[in-house]
Amino acid sequence: MPEAWWKERVFYQVYPRSFQDSSGDGIGDLRGIISRLDYLKSLGVGAVWLCPVYDSPNADMGYDIRDYEKIMTEFGTMEDFDELLRELHSRDIKLVMDLVVNHSSDEHRWFVESRSSRENPYRDYYIWRDGKDGREPNNWASFFTPSAWSYDEGTGQWYLHLFSEKQPDLNWENPSVREEVYAMMNRWFDRGVDGFRMDVITVIAKAPELPDGTGAPGSGGYVFSPEHFAFQPKLHEYLREMRRRCFDGRSCMCVGETSFVTTENANSLVGDGRELDLLFQFDIMDMDGEGSKWNAIPLDVPKLKQIIAAWQGAIDWNTLFLGNHDQPRVVSRFGDTGSEELWKRSAKCLATLMYLQRGTPFIYQGEELGMTNAPFETREQLRDVEELNLLALCKGETELERAWRGIKAKGRDNARTPMQWSAGKNAGFTTGEPWIMLNPNYTWINAEAEDSDPDSVLNYYRALIALRNATPALLRGDWRELLPENKQVVAYARELEGEKYTVLCNLSGKAAELPFTLSELGEPVLSNMPSDPTAAALFPYQALVLKRS
Ligand code: ISL
């Protein structure tokens, strides 16, 4: 039986606002994406995850949807969307839409109705409660603001928002909400889309009584309380219902952004019940935060190895990624940007260690060029609601300095600067004024320059993807950890029906000794620098894939 298509293909995440502008308004759009599809094809990807393109007031850059069945005006029209879909399919590239149904925009028709009166039929589409002693109904903190509740003067009640106040949470307990969502998803499937990436899907069900959180209070005394909104029992009921109503009988896939998932509960989502096909877990993304996303401690290779081994052992099929639109740039975070040589070598090393594991790779736009964090200096340069809220809460210089350190290292705008196509005006992204600043290093980190350089990060990604696409053992083979005790080298074997590959990546800035010579493991099929088969060591950030002959 052929494997499910989402296991065999490499995904590429497009952040449309920053990918390619075709209209000159400084904002990327659908026709811009269409004009770059041959680039995606040349990279070897087989599926695109398209960040939200629905009508939105952009309080959270499209993750606040005002109309699930209309395209955001700046991005184009439904005709443009249909053309994008056709053009992708004609190149044998699947399209997976990003869908945000934990919450909508407060400008969505449902919420406008809902807040208009307590008797409105849409009132129960959202989570409204009376306050307690003139305060919020409970002590929950939100991801983006101190309190997860906002007061509505007009109707004298509070509504819940786990994200910004412009992102009210939908009430999944209400069967009408679920029916609306499933019908909408089915209309997108009928249009031809191949799947959904479901935003924060693990928080759609809340503990019915909405009890106070008991953890440590944060800003304003509010408590971040995932124990009452993540992985609630009803979650599984809803996901099974969604599976039945939307996915059964179609060859469409569902990947969940499964915040708070652990190796212990992951199989409740992707195991036999198959509520989701794939899940995004964030253990690697969280490992340098030490409790706060804004901290940035240096990469701990043994810890990274432990996370990789734990997840390879926990579920049959992982998603493989090191960044996305919510994370800083991969090479700035985990590699070495101190010199051009190490920047290039470490970018290639990180891709090798990640994308040849057992699972489905997800590459975030620009990562294949080795794009880096941007040198933001002023508040005016920032666009992300999370960063701006953080600055707004700062009292005094020390807090501001700490916040800026966090924003530079971990802020989401790092990943959202325009795609660097060329060394020309605005990096070839737009003829107008870009909506967010460009990273000035586009003059030398760009697709055009890298396309013609055989040693570029881009051409390495092409070779890596081609190797994976063509090699059954790297697609479907077992995964086995090697050198578990080594503190610098990530090493593993992939094996299928007697074919064996070894992946060796020195993820440190120092040479690493090996207990064998390279030639003992076979012939190199991919490497990021010349290697000596008689050596029993790896150079800093050296990556090597060997095939046993
Ligand atoms: O980005 C984060 C913190 O910096 C994450 O906690 C993030 O908020 C979380 O993973 C949920 O992300 C998703 O939903 C958000 C949206 O802002 C993100 O862009 C999206 O990926 C709310 O819809």
- Look at the block and give the residue holding tokens 């190895």: 305
User: Does the beta carbon of 259 lie inside 6 Å of ligand 1?
Assistant: yes
Distance 257 CA to ligand 1 centre (A): 9
pLDDT for 290 equals 83
Q: Could you tell me the two tokens for 464?
A: 């890596």
pLDDT for 549 equals 76
* Buried/exposed 228-260: b ≥16 CB within 10 Å, e otherwise: bbbbbeebeebbebbbeebbeeeebbbbbbbbe
Determine the average pLDDT of the residues in 525-543: 97
Distance 200 CA to ligand 1 centre (A): 7
The residue whose CA is least distant from atom 16 of ligand 1 is: 63
Q: How many Å is the maximal CA-CA distance in the chain?
A: 78
Show Cβ contacts of residue 341 under 8 Å, excluding neighbours closer than 6 positions: none
The residue whose CA is least distant from atom 15 of ligand 1 is: 63
pLDDT for 2 equals 60
User: Does the beta carbon of 75 lie inside 6 Å of ligand 1?
Assistant: no
Whether the pLDDT of residue 492 is over 60: the answer is: yes
HSE-CB at 422 with a 13 A cutoff on CA atoms is 10
In the chain, what percentage of residues exceed pLDDT 70?
100
The residue whose CA is least distant from atom 5 of ligand 1 is: 326
- Which of 49, 50, 63 to probe ligand 1 with, by most ligand atoms within 8 A of CB? 63
Q: Could you tell me the two tokens for 481?
A: 């950890």
User: Does the beta carbon of 384 lie inside 6 Å of ligand 1?
Assistant: no
- Nearest atom within ligand 1 for CA of residue 325: 19
DSSP one-letter code for 142: P
- Which of 13, 326, 383, 407 to probe ligand 1 with, by most ligand atoms within 8 A of CB? 326
- Could you read off the pLDDT of 154-164 as tens digits, one per residue? 999 999 999 99
The residue whose CA is least distant from atom 1 of ligand 1 is: 326
In the chain, what percentage of residues exceed pLDDT 90?
97
User: Does the beta carbon of 461 lie inside 6 Å of ligand 1?
Assistant: no
Distance 465 CA to ligand 1 centre (A): 28
Whether the pLDDT of residue 1 is over 60: the answer is: no
User: Does the beta carbon of 163 lie inside 6 Å of ligand 1?
Assistant: yes
Contact 155, 113 (CB under 8 A): no
Distance 412 CA to ligand 1 centre (A): 9
Other CB atoms within a 10 A radius of the CB of residue 549 amount to: 8
Determine the average pLDDT of the residues in 464-483: 98
- Nearest atom within ligand 1 for CA of residue 410: 4
The residue whose CA is least distant from atom 20 of ligand 1 is: 199
Distance 199 CA to ligand 1 centre (A): 8
Q: Could you tell me the two tokens for 209?
A: 């009584």
Predicted confidence band at 291 (pLDDT cuts at 50, 70, 90)?
confident
Whether the pLDDT of residue 541 is over 90: the answer is: yes
Query: Which secondary structure element, helix H or strand E, spans residue 157, and what is its range?
Result: strand 157-160
User: Does the beta carbon of 63 lie inside 6 Å of ligand 1?
Assistant: yes
- Could you read off the pLDDT of 499-524 as tens digits, one per residue? 999 999 999 999 999 999 999 999 99
Distance 120 CA to ligand 1 centre (A): 30
Mean pLDDT of the chain: 97
- Look at the block and give the residue holding tokens 């569902």: 254
pLDDT for 271 equals 77
Active-site annotation, residues:
199, 257
Distance CA 95, CA 97 (A): 6
Distance CA 515, CA 162 (A): 50
User: Does the beta carbon of 9 lie inside 6 Å of ligand 1?
Assistant: no
User: Does the beta carbon of 21 lie inside 6 Å of ligand 1?
Assistant: no
How buried is 483 (Cβ within 10 angstroms: 0-12 exposed, 13-18 middle, 19+ buried)? Answer: middle
The residue whose CA is least distant from atom 2 of ligand 1 is: 326
Distance 396 CA to ligand 1 centre (A): 27
User: Does the beta carbon of 143 lie inside 6 Å of ligand 1?
Assistant: yes
Determine the average pLDDT of the residues in 388-402: 96
Whether the pLDDT of residue 25 is over 80: the answer is: yes
Whether the pLDDT of residue 272 is over 80: the answer is: no
User: Does the beta carbon of 60 lie inside 6 Å of ligand 1?
Assistant: yes
The residue whose CA is least distant from atom 12 of ligand 1 is: 200
Show Cβ contacts of residue 130 under 8 Å, excluding neighbours closer than 6 positions: 137, 157, 158
| pTM of this structure | 0.97
Distance 326 CA to ligand 1 centre (A): 6
Distance CA 57, CA 102 (A): 17
Distance 244 CA to ligand 1 centre (A): 27
User: Does the beta carbon of 100 lie inside 6 Å of ligand 1?
Assistant: yes
The residue whose CA is least distant from atom 6 of ligand 1 is: 143
